[in-house]
Structure 1
Amino acid sequence: MTPPFSAYVDESMLLQSGLYILAAVLVAPAEAERHRAALRSLLLRRQRKLHWRDENDKRRTLLAEAVAAMRPMGVVVVGAGLDGRRQERARRKCVEHLLWEMGGHHVLDVVFERRHSELDLRDHELVAVLQGRHSMPPRLRLSWCDPAAEPLLWLPDIVAGALSRAERGDERFWNLVSGDLAVRRIDVR
């Protein structure tokens, strides 16, 4: 029997290419502490969290190899047609698609990276609408967390960053991490 998973979710945007990327990496409860320890071991001195955008290519290779060793499973939603002035619309469409997908993956908990209170409130309002329309699995428990406090949020950051680079033609990192990650492409116009 497949254990229930927790999904950790983060985003990346390619404004020039009109793409909004939302990655969910699934982690079984029995693996969570081991993955957290492995991720923390990658921190540099004085570094509070891993963040793809802040790393150079040598470190990105190290991060991608470490994530690949964890054999990540999950879903990455790529929203095409992103208008830089309508980023929240793109996020809503990607979140809706992602939450629906979680229903088929034995996910109980979905943990989003906290943004800031106003944007997180928009996410909460979206979830209420989706629940009212029965557009997401009713069993899902959602939360928002600071990535400095939850290393498992670094997984989708790395996955989304690797796919973002692949979308720009550099597939080295994505080829390392992509094994059991399903990519879903949607229109967010």
Structure 2
Amino acid sequence: MIGVPALHAWVDESTRRRASGTSVYVLAATICGTEQADEARRSVRALRLPELRFLHWHEEDRGRRLQIATVISGLEALHTVVVGAPVEAAGPERARSRCLARLATELAGIGVEHMLIEGRTALQNRRDVATITDLRSHGAVPKPLTVDFAGKSDDPMLWIADIVAGAVGASLTGTDAEPLDALGPSVEVIRIGLTQRRR
């Protein structure tokens, strides 16, 4: 019997300010089988400029962003993106927690077994783990969904999630819709409302 390749997800964030003055929080997951991930890594490594350690939305000009998005669209990967707004209603950490909870639930629902999230500080990483642990305790995600953290330079799959998050943010804020258009139907965007923080 041929085994089904395990599905993994690589997760990165972006925060963008809209013309209205409020901000959106974007949490993007790139999803693919472990076997397909090696080919995806090779493809995006080939796009890295020599003077840069990794691909990063904010380090690329408009033409490069479109070029990179076009290459990503041809990979055997899908992208689920949760967008929360307005960030100001919840605060950045609660916005992240709400978006991460929804993202993890969506990923668990399609059989993702492991999430690699771009790491932040040790305290912030522990908050992310607490969010997933709370979901597990309520049965929202299965125990096999594991979570680890890494720096962007550690895994090129995180570069892809970064570009996807940037493309979604740019489109939603009216800055540039072309990179998201280039990514095409591989991207699913889920919007959630962020409520006022309790005093």
1:71 shift after superposition:
4.8
How far, CA to CA, are the matches of 1:39 and 1:33 in structure 2?
A: 10
Paired residues of 1:10 and 1:157 also in contact (CA < 8 A): yes
Partner-residue secondary structure (3-state), 1:111: strand
Deviation digits for residues 58-90 of structure 1, max 9, x if unmatched? Answer: 111111111112153131101122118710000
How far, CA to CA, are the matches of 1:128 and 1:68 in structure 2?
A: 33
How far, CA to CA, are the matches of 1:100 and 1:187 in structure 2?
A: 16
Paired residues of 1:72 and 1:181 also in contact (CA < 8 A): no
Q: Which runs of 5+ in 1 are unaligned?
A: none
Identical aligned pairs, as a percentage? 31
Q: Aligned to 2:80, which of 58, 75, 88?
A: 75
State whether structure 2 residue 44 is matched by structure 1 residue 39: yes
Partner-residue secondary structure (3-state), 1:178: helix
What amino acid sits opposite 1:7 in the alignment?
Answer: A
State whether structure 2 residue 188 is matched by structure 1 residue 186: no
Q: Which runs of 5+ in 2 are unaligned?
A: none
Greater Rg by CA: 2
What amino acid sits opposite 1:30 in the alignment?
Answer: E
Structure 1: 4+ residue segments shifted above 6 A = none
Partner-residue secondary structure (3-state), 1:83: helix
Paired residues of 2:73 and 2:186 also in contact (CA < 8 A): no
Q: Aligned to 1:24, which of 13, 29, 36?
A: 29
Q: Aligned to 1:175, which of 149, 173, 181?
A: 181
1:26 shift after superposition:
0.4
State whether structure 2 residue 129 is matched by structure 1 residue 124: yes
Q: Aligned to 2:15, which of 4, 13, 16?
A: 13
